[in-house]
Amino acid sequence: MQATREKILDAVFKLVYINGYNGTSMAMILKECAIPKGSLYHYFKSKKEMVLSVVKERIHPRMNEFYQLDVEENVEGIDTIISSIYKVSKKELLVSYGCPLNRLNQEMSPVDKDFEEAINLIYNSLRKKIEVLLNNSSLIEGVDAESLSEFIIATVWGSISLSPKQSSQKRYLATINHLINYLKSLKI
Amino acid sequence: MQATREKILDAVFKLVYINGYNGTSMAMILKECAIPKGSLYHYFKSKKEMVLSVVKERIHPRMNEFYQLDVEENVEGIDTIISSIYKVSKKELLVSYGCPLNRLNQEMSPVDKDFEEAINLIYNSLRKKIEVLLNNSSLIEGVDAESLSEFIIATVWGSISLSPKQSSQKRYLATINHLINYLKSLKI
DNA sequence: TATAAAATAGACCATTCAGTCTGTTTTAAG
DNA sequence: CTTAAAACAGACTGAATGGTCTATTTTATA
């Protein structure tokens, strides 16, 4: 049944989000979704393949949902970016647990090529969207859209990765406000 | 012998830096430093205690060495910060493997209070140093030193955590250049 | 030089790990 | 209704895990 597979992906996403890849055992997963081992290994041939599926089928869509970076008619691209950054502060889980993609990236990318690849795919698609939005904006001269898009992601992800330390989204907003200031200063 | 303890800490730092906490086994550590188990457990009562010692005795000094953030006579604090950020790009390991503190933070802080505490201590000391330097600067009115210090760390750490994806320090510099621009715009 | 403490040494242990194996039940197609 | 494939079920396996235990060697000190 397809529902079983989805149930497994949900459980794995949740546990890996909190405990990381190596911190999550198959026993924990089995217990969380109350599914026998035979069933799980019917859908996934290994733990690694399973978590990679989570990256593609759970984390990727989640990132697209969190960062609403699609081009809108009659809206300056850079304003879409700014409002997207604000909206992130409303996502409590994200601000209090950190970014699931970045968490997994820190743990797995240096150590496993397949994870690095799957994670880079998501990172690049987000970065590219931001670059497109920047190119759809009236900016002062000499602004490099590519490095600026990297700067934006680096700052937002950095802020989120530190925000669990800081008590709340208030802190995230105070931090991120500097980024917004900078972005506004680049508008014509 | 004290040298044995130091050797162990070096090996653990290296392996945990690359593989993470849960990705590094005692067997790997023992092999790396070619020391029998009895000796190792003579110096450390557990893996966790050992890695916490690495945080305090290896990572903390390393961070202070990497980020040279001490107040200098006749130098604007903000210029010290800017040159420190530039200097980070010279540290190849940092830019190509990511920040060891941030790596461990992402993996362990959400899951273990002791790690969270030890890591926060370092984070706060760095942040405070930056705040002091900002207060030692002639900045335009209305700049909040606390949130700005958080913003600086978030951006630098974010850039470093993404820099392994980007081939080189060139990319780190291009990204971080936006931060420098912003900081310069805050000077009187 | 005698003696206790510090340090080295590695065999050993219980537990947990990811993954396999052999069935049984359910579902869908002819 | 028959039959094959899909799905469920969980006992079992070998390797790896962090940690213990006992014994020996080295070092420092009285």
Work out the number of other CB atoms within 10 angstroms of the CB of residue A4.
14
- CB neighbours of residue B74 within 10 Å: 4
Distance from CA of B150 to the nearest CA of A (A): 6
Contact B175 A150 (CB under 8 A): yes
Average pLDDT over residues B116-125: 95
Higher pLDDT pick, B165 / B18: B18
Cross-chain residue pair A181–B182, CB shorter than 8 Å: yes
Predicted pLDDT of residue B165? 58
Position B163 scores a pLDDT of 63
Q: What value does the mean pLDDT take over residues B155-171?
A: 79
* Mean of all residue pLDDT scores within chain B: 93
Task: Write the pLDDT tens digit of every residue in B167-188.
Answer: 567 888 999 999 999 999 999 8
Q: Please give the CATH architecture assigned to the domain spanning B49-185.
A: Orthogonal Bundle (1.10)
The topology (CATH level 3) of A51-185 is Tetracycline Repressor; domain 2 (1.10.357)
- The pLDDT score that the predictor gives to residue A120 is 94
Residues 64-123 of A with CB under 8 A from B: 97-98, 102-103, 105-107, 109-111, 120, 123
Cβ–Cβ contacts within 10 Å for residue B142, how many?
6
Nearest C-alpha of chain B: how many angstroms from A130?
14
> pLDDT tens digit string along B75-107?
999 999 999 999 998 887 777 778 899 999 999
- Residue B167, chain A, CB below 8 Å: the answer is no
Q: Read off the pLDDT of residues B41-80 as tens digits, 9 standing for 90 and up.
A: 999 999 999 999 999 999 999 999 999 999 999 999 999 9
Q: Helix A100-108 and helix B145-162: axis angle, to 10°?
A: 50
- Nucleotide showing the shortest C1' distance to residue B41 CA: D19
Q: Domain limits of chain A?
A: 51-185
- Regions of chain A with pLDDT less than 70: 163-168
The nucleotide lying nearest B42 (C-alpha to C1') is C7
